[in-house]
Chains A and B, each alone.
Chain A
Amino acid sequence: MWQRLLAFSLLFPCLSTADAQEREFNPVKVGRLFGRFQPITEFPIVPANKAELEPNELVLGVVVNGKARAYPINMLTGPSREILNDQLGGAAIAATW
């Protein structure tokens, strides 16, 4: 179940390149002042004609089992916004960037 439904709060894991052959995990905690971010599991989903996006805005697009969804990058920016727990085409997915 955990593979299919993950609710995330934020840490930014970073890997050091000090030794290119051996990965060193050095996570950087963000949002220290605010505590842990609440996972985002509910948000509005609208059809394309209600999106109110400009043509040149970047989106992360995915198609799952024939169902397409766009995640506008300008709405996913900021430490508390970078992971959306979603459902699409019968699958539980995390959209992140």
Chain B
Amino acid sequence: MMDSETKSLWSHLLGEAMDGELKGTVLESYPSHMTDWANWRAENPETTVAKLSRTSQRYRTEFYRNPSQFVVGIAGGGMAKAWNFQQLTKTPIVNDQFSDQSLVVVFDSKSKTALTFSRTLDDQVLTFEEKDKAMVDRETRSVWNRLSGKAIDGPLKGKRLAPMVSIVSFSKAWVTFHPNTTGLTKAELEESRAPRRSRNRQPRGDDKKP
């Protein structure tokens, strides 16, 4: 992409000017995530919506039918870490670290929604686990909504985890833009770096997304 003001060229995935007057400048990123409309509306009933004419019909939850092709990743400070959707399908709550931050990666298999939240709340680092299909922290046994990051029962009821800036991407794109990424297995990295095979292609149209 290019900005009209300086004609600098920017990378979508990095948010960084790659060429031109602003080369090396990185835009501030806001926490955002991709999910389905039903989930977003349920979690954000007052949401507004950008309404333009449709240019596609294919971007629905079925788009993620090959979960191994996708990752959710975090980058910053010259480092990057990613978590593959295939692994998240098996382990939908991952307590992890990135740089000096404690975070939890959560995955909703039904909507194929991947989110990242800080595990630090009021100077306490929480550890999350799945119990009876709910997300519970070991320290207080509070129950959390994994899509909103909000405690819905227990001592921390009403508290909310801080969302982190993360991006859902094709694993191939993530590895291209973050060649030194951690978090992926050797096999996942090799698969991401291999030329795309026809059997992995999306059915039609624009295949560079998301």
Contacts and interface: CB of A to CB of B under 8 A. Distances in A.
Interface residues of A, number: 65
A15 B178 CA distance: 9
B47 interface: yes
A55 B38 contact: yes
Task: Output the residue of A9, A39, A50, A55 with the most chain B CB within 10 A.
Answer: A55
Contacts of A61: 32-35, 40, 44, 47
B197 interface: no
A7 B19 CA distance: 16
9 A-B pairs with the lowest CB-CB distances in the bound complex, closest first: A55-B38, A20-B179, A68-B44, A73-B59, A77-B56, A68-B47, A62-B32, A7-B4, A51-B49
Interface of A: 2-3, 6-17, 20-21, 23, 25, 27, 36, 39, 43-48, 50-64, 67-78, 81-84, 86, 91, 93-97
Interface of B: 1-6, 9-12, 18-19, 22, 25, 27-28, 30-38, 40-41, 44-63, 175-177, 179-180, 193, 205-206, 208-210
